[in-house]
Amino acid sequence: DTGVSQDPRHKITKRGQNVTFRCDPISEHNRLYWYRQTLGQGPEFLTYFQNEAQLEKSRLLSDRFSAERPKGSFSTLEIQRTEQGDSAMYLCASTGQIPYEQYFGPGTRLTVT
């Protein structure tokens, strides 16, 4: 399968714990995006990488959130000291030469109890 993959698919954690999600984009894609989607809403942009450089961060991304893409391939999104309001679906997308054509992974559903 050459699509975007995300791991884990589901994560349940207690408030205050740290969590880390991984996204593996389509191999030749140089741009990678993270979005967050809550129930009944469309996805909201969080951050964007071109290769290993993080070029934009949404103000939704508080200082408890950090994202990396160390070698320009896979990316991680870490949430520290999770809060119940962090419960959401976290989506990763990648794109290649056509920047507006984004391919999405299945998402990681986070539940903070």
Partner 1 sequence: AQSVTQLDSHVSVSEGTPVLLRCNYSSSYSPSLFWYVQHPNKGLQLLLKYTSAATLVKGINGFEAEFKKSETSFHLTKPSAHMSDAAEYFCVVSGAGNNRKLIWGLGTSLAVNP
The site for partner 1 (CB under 8 A) is made up of 3-4, 31, 33, 35, 40-45, 48, 55-56, 91, 93, 95, 99-107
Q: Which is nearer to partner 1, 3 or 16 (CB)?
A: 3
Q: Which is nearer to partner 1, 10 or 15 (CB)?
A: 10
Q: With 0-12 CB in 10 A as exposed, 13-18 as middle and 19+ as buried, what is 84? A: exposed
The distance of closest approach from Cβ of residue 26 to partner 1 in the complex, given in angstroms and rounded to an integer, is 13
Cα 58 from chain centroid? 12
